[in-house]
Amino acid sequence: MSDSSSGEGIRALAGAAAPAAPFPRLAEDKCNRKHSRKGRYSAEMNILGYIREHGENNVAELVVTASDCLSSKEFQKKWHSFLTGFVKKRFPSGMWTRERQPRSGNWHAHCPVDVARDIKTNFPIAEVEAGDYRNVQPWIRDLWKELREGAARYGLGRISLLPIKKSGPAAAKYFVKYLAKAHGSVKSVGEERCRLFGMWGTKRWCYPRFSWVGSRVFRRRLSWYAREVGLEDVTEIGRLLGRDWWFRLREPLLRVVLPLEYYQLWDFGSQSYRWDDIGFRAYCEDLNRYPGVPSDYRRQRLSQFLFHAEVGKSWGMKHSRAFAYARRMVERCGLGYQRAFPLWRNT
């Protein structure tokens, strides 16, 4: 290329307008990019826990669409009014995910809600999808009418309530896919950090904020149980307790008072264990869960006895057999059943 042609090219580029700034995307936001995957996982676990808590047949999908609502602030205002003034009164608990419709750009929400009765059995889903509502039970049609009238009062558009079509895990993934789409969808300026998941009237089964330091004690709990039952690795716990052990045994495991070394850190200089603030605080909190037990040692063994009893129940054991299993596990650790059981009975 000649010098003249290259010079003309440089002058042309110098006089050209700067390229337009890319349209903001939620996935590119500094605050959400790192945590979107964790947030989706947390939402999926919470929805799955909610469905299993209330039963797949009793949970329905509520879809609320706002017509001509392109602004997230406008939709948030309408949705908040509709949620507090109508939905919470009709459905005491539920969760919601929301996204912008890809074609129209309007916002809409998908909500798993507990209808407190079986809505899935004998529901003519194929007929309803084809527009035939003759075989729908009267109480469901009355509920649809109530929802339509309520949505109209709050300035919302189309609304539907249908039973979830899939099993619990598949249904949870179905709801979370809207979060995945929303994290990658185009947003207007100011909407990069808009909230896409929430819940009301129910507990959380999982939190989106994971901390390597804060979760150290929980990892030690897994290590303790793996050592108790003779597992070589904590990854084998799922095979022993079952695929869904987290939902059944999470709370009992969090109530176990561990041996002291599981809270402490190893000091390579002194070749001994030492306390830090996180471990000591966790140890004190665990002990305070059993205020009526006279000694720390008995609190530790009692908590372990209760945990092993819950493990036995999760395997389908009756109460007496589960307690016998827990007694054997406690005796392996050096505490007799006769000393542990009265404390368990008095608590």
The Cα 38–Cα 18 span in angstroms is 36
Same domain for 193 and 44 = yes
Backbone angles phi, psi at 306, to 5 degrees: -65, -40
| Dist. CA 216–CA 263, nearest whole Å | 9
Question: 212 vs 286, which has greater pLDDT?
Answer: 286
How would residue 27 be classed by pLDDT, with cut points 50, 70 and 90?
very low
Q: Is the pLDDT of residue 261 over 60?
A: yes
Last residue of a domain, one of 200, 232, 248: 200
Q: Are residues 89 and 69 in contact, defined by beta-carbon separation less than 8 angstroms?
A: no
Based on the fold, state whether residues 42 and 170 are members of the same structural domain: yes
Residue reference for tokens 């305070």: 288
Q: Which pLDDT belongs to residue 341?
A: 40
pLDDT at residue 308 is higher than 70:
yes
Q: How many CB atoms lie within 10 A of CB 14?
A: 7
Least confident of 5-19, 174-188, 257-271: 5-19
CA distance 171 to 118: 17
- Sheet of 59-65: strand order equals 159-163, 59-65, 107-114, 94-100, 197-200
| 15 within domain boundaries | no
Structural domain of 66: 26-200
Residue located via tokens 């009062």: 153
Q: Could you give the angle at which helices 277-287 and 296-314 cross, rounded to 10 degrees?
A: 80
Q: Which CATH number do you get for residue 49?
A: 3.30.70.1910
- Same-domain pairing of 189 and 267: no
Residue 47: half-sphere exposure toward Cβ, Cα within 13 Å: 31
Structure tokens at 255: 């109530």
- Does a structural domain hold residue 20? no
Domain boundary among 200, 228, 260: 200
Helix (H) / strand (E) element for 100: namely strand 94-100
Q: Is 220 in the same domain as 172?
A: no
Same domain, 37 and 145: yes
Residue-wise burial string across 198-231, b where 16 or more C-beta atoms lie within 10 A, e elsewhere? ebbebeebbebeeeeeeebbeebbebbbbeeeeb
Q: What pLDDT is stored for residue 102 in this prediction?
A: 66
Where does the pLDDT of residue 19 fall: very low under 50, low under 70, confident under 90, or very high at 90 and above? very low
Q: Same domain for 169 and 68?
A: yes
Taking all residues of the chain, what is their mean pLDDT, rounded to a whole number? Answer: 78
Closest CA to 121 of 169, 60, 54, 64: 60
Residue 100 resides in a domain: yes
pLDDT (mean) for 182-194 = 51
Most confident residue range from 8-12, 41-45, 67-71: 41-45
- SS3 at position 298: helix
pLDDT band per the 50, 70, 90 thresholds, residue 272: confident
Average of per-residue pLDDT across 267-287: 87
pLDDT score of 184 more than 60: no
Name residue 38's amino acid.
K
Q: What is the pLDDT of residue 158?
A: 85
Residue 10 in any domain: the answer is: no
End position of a domain, from candidates 200, 230, 265: 200
Query: pLDDT exceeding 70 applies to what percent of the chain?
Result: 76
Own/partner pairs, 212-220, CB within 8 angstroms, 24+ separation = 213/278, 214/278, 216/278, 216/279, 217/258, 217/262, 217/263, 217/278, 217/279, 217/282, 218/254, 220/258, 220/262, 220/263
- Whether 189 has a pLDDT exceeding 50, the answer reads no
Cα angle at 293 between 288 and 295, to 5 degrees?
A: 90
Instruction: Please indicate, yes or no, whether residues 144 and 67 belong to a single structural domain of this protein.
Output: yes
Q: What is the pLDDT of residue 266?
A: 85
What is d(CA 316, CA 20) in angstroms, rounded to the nearest whole number?
63
Res 157: pLDDT: 81
Query: Do 93 and 149 lie in a common domain?
Result: yes
Same domain for 192 and 249, yes or no, is: no
Give the pLDDT score at 207.
Answer: 66
Compute the distance between CA of residue 15 and CA of residue 10 in angstroms, rounded to an integer: 9
Which residues are bridge partners to 266 per DSSP? 273
Q: Does 32 share its domain with 176?
A: yes
Do the beta carbons of residue 111 and residue 64 sit within 8 Å?
Answer: yes
Statement: the pTM of the whole predicted model exceeds 0.85: no
Q: How many CA atoms lie within 13 A of 276 on its CB side?
A: 13
Start-to-end CA span in the chain (Å): 89
Q: In which band, very low, low, confident or very high, does the pLDDT at 286 lie, cut at 50, 70 and 90?
A: very high
Q: Which residue has the higher pLDDT, 100 or 334?
A: 100
Rounded CA-CA distance 42/96 in Å is 13
Query: How many Cα atoms sit within 13 Å of 22 on the Cβ side?
Result: 7
